[in-house]
Chain A
């Protein structure tokens, strides 16, 4: 398996533009997580899915952020409109179960810069 695949790796955009980040989890992993890494807040969970259904989106900062998982092999995180404070590295991770001792496998991350 190629692991968790994220795209794009880098995105530079201007304030107000729509940003879409994509993730392909490991085949057979039922859980998918979106995390955001910033200097101030560290690695924070935005939302996670189980079997394509959003379970907890309490970490999504505001209505400008939305996430979907239309099927087991694809998820998107969208920011519209983007703002400079959204600049961060966004990680997608997947896990084979929701069992708390199951490790997460992370993608390489998408570095977003909003000018």
Chain B
């Protein structure tokens, strides 16, 4: 069974701070790494999908990097804003490349204080 782990479990930062958190996954049989953002009382929404070692993706103040050889991905938020408060989930498909069976980490819950 694929084990996807995230750290830290929760994070409290001040508005304007930059922050980052980690997703680790088995480096063998890697196919893709997903990041989702989940706001309270809403549904998870996809941020990025990365497949290649060294991939970097960016959406506004949020960016992500991928290291498939060592099995980790970082999510960075530059100049955090209160609206960035959410749980950030990473996920990776289990099994072959043709399965959409995504296994999620437990998430990192970010709270940005104004």
Report A's interface with B, CB cutoff 8 A. Answer: 4, 31, 33, 35, 42-45, 48, 56, 91, 95, 97-109
Contacts and interface: CB of A to CB of B under 8 A. Distances in A.
B89 A43 contact: yes
Nearest to A89: B43
B27 interface: no
A105 B102 CA distance: 12
Contacts of B96: 100
Nearest to B98: A98
B106 to A, nearest CB: 4
A101 B32 contact: yes
A40 to B, nearest CB: 10
Interface of B: 31-32, 34, 42-46, 49, 51, 89, 92-93, 96-107
A85 B40 CA distance: 22
Main secondary structure of the interface of B (DSSP, over half): loop
A103 B107 CA distance: 17
B101 A56 contact: yes
A104 B100 contact: yes
Nearest to A50: B100
Contacts of B106: 42
Contacts, number: 63
Contacts of A31: 100
Contacts of A91: 43-44
A83 to B, nearest CB: 23
Contact of B100 (A4, A95, A107, A109): A95
B49 A101 contact: yes
Given A45-B103, A104-B100, A107-B43, 12 more contacts: A31-B100, A35-B104, A42-B107, A43-B44, A56-B101, A91-B43, A95-B100, A98-B98, A98-B100, A99-B100, A100-B92, A103-B49
A91 to B, nearest CB: 7
B46 A103 contact: yes
A45 B101 contact: yes
